[in-house]
A and B are shown apart, each in its own frame.
Chain A
Amino acid sequence: MISVSIVGGSGYGGGELLRLLLGHSQVEVKQVTSRSHLGEYVYQVHPNLRKRTQLKFTDPAHLEPVDVLFLALPHGQAQKKIDEYAAQAPQIIDLSADFRLRDAALYEKWYGVSHAAPAWLGKFIYGLPELHRSEIREGRYISGVGCNATASNLALLPLVQAGLIDLSAPVISEIKVGSSESGAEGNAGSLHAERANVIRTFSAFGHRHTAEVIQETGIQDVSLTMTAVDLVRGALATVHAKVKPGTANKDLWKAYRAAANENPFIRVVKEQRGIYRVPEPKIVAGSNYADIGFELDESNGHVVSICAIDNLMKGAAGTAVQCLNLMKGWDEMTGLDFPGLHPA
């Protein structure tokens, strides 16, 4: 049994992380901090945790040493105090965007501000086990993953690993996202009257998560187009690319099957009957699974690769716990075995 604490536990990502850690057989949650909800029971902010814990939000200034520290702060905050946090725990998993990019210049390009702790960027490992499993096992500092980047990266994973993409053509990732992606702090666009029933493209290109896709896939000519849809949880990446001449359906099956065999949370969904023939976010809601599927037009090499995830799970907290399991040498699926609901 190890001790963990969460710094910044009042947001959706922090709440989802706490839900997972409270149910984890190898973990004791020591503290959950929040300045804005100081002294409140955590279940008063995360109502699904009533009767699961009597923890109260504590002051981040009174953080105590633990084995592993999770940071679930708004983007830009963890980097300002990373030295303080590192003094409290030998291992850190940061869910924010602060340590995802390896290059400080790239961080400034995509986030519009200079990084406050550039020397730390090289110490962090990008926390997507499907791409960095062996490094995470040996790691001390693990970054979070962007939910939209994760949906895109996992849709591309089989194609990239098998070397099937024709890189002379652009890669387009069209992503539909639920409202929980925008966090627990509201804005005018998240009012029910404005957010309900939408299919709203809010970022045609240039979304920050694009940097993670470029960094992790090595594909330079890739664009992410973000569309808000009427979901609470879920992200669906529909990736369009060209495959190399001569690539057949059977080659893609081989690549996708290999990805699923190598990664316990990846499932291939490409059904010929029934209702759920392609990946759908509602089927993975609450679970750490990433469902991937594809269709190939063999006549012109156009491939459509699809990935469905729960943005708060595989796109954030679930992947963070998966990293914890790897760092500690536990079964990768410990505490993450919930398969989702049907119907949902």
Chain B
Amino acid sequence: MNTVSCPECEAEITLDASTEVGEIIVCSDCGVDLEVTGLDPAEVNLAPMEQEDWGE
């Protein structure tokens, strides 16, 4: 089973067997988008997300 640590919150994330490089997954703890950058070994990087700004 392929597991990675979330780079934002260090939650342990298990990748599905069907996960592909380039796929965007969501951390179940902190909710960030993660791009799968490798499978052997499994690697993920933070993916850009839309920010909220009501001050403008």
> What per-residue 1/0 map shows which CB atoms of A259-277 lie under 8 Å from chain B?
0000000001011110001
Instruction: Tell whether A88 is near chain B: CB-to-CB under 8 Å.
Output: no
Stretch in A248-256, A299-307, A326-334 with 4+ CB within 8 Å of B:
A248-256
Instruction: Tell whether B30 is near chain A: CB-to-CB under 8 Å.
Output: yes
Contact B49 A272 (CB under 8 A): yes
Contact A253 B10 (CB under 8 A): yes
Residues of chain B with a CB closer than 8 A to A272's CB: 30-33, 49
The total of interchain contacts (Cβ-Cβ below 8 angstroms) comes to 28
Interface residue ranges of A216-257 to B (CB < 8 Å): 249-250, 253-254, 257
Residues of chain B with a CB closer than 8 A to A271's CB: 31
Nearest chain-B residue to A274 (Cβ)? Answer: B31
Q: Size of chain A's interface in residues, with CB distance under 8 A? A: 11
Residues of chain A with a CB closer than 8 A to B11's CB: 253, 257
Contact A254 B49 (CB under 8 A): no
Q: How far is the CA of A269 from the CA of B32 in the complex (A)?
A: 13
Nearest chain-B residue to A250 (Cβ)? Answer: B10
Residue positions of A touching B, CB distance < 8 A: 249-250, 253-254, 257, 268, 270-273, 277
Instruction: Tell whether B23 is near chain A: CB-to-CB under 8 Å.
Output: no
Contact A254 B50 (CB under 8 A): no
Instruction: Tell whether B8 is near chain A: CB-to-CB under 8 Å.
Output: yes
Q: How far is the CA of A249 from the CA of B10 in the complex (A)?
A: 10
A273-B8 contact, Cβ under 8 Å, with A253-B29, A253-B30, A257-B29: no
Q: How far is the CA of A257 from the CA of B33 in the complex (A)?
A: 19
Contact B49 A270 (CB under 8 A): no
Q: How many whole Å from A85's CB to the nearest CB in chain B?
A: 45
Q: How many whole Å from B11's CB to the nearest CB in chain A?
A: 8
Q: How far is the CA of A273 from the CA of B8 in the complex (A)?
A: 15
Residues of chain B with a CB closer than 8 A to A273's CB: 31, 49-50
Residues of chain A with a CB closer than 8 A to B50's CB: 273
Instruction: Tell whether B52 is near chain A: CB-to-CB under 8 Å.
Output: yes
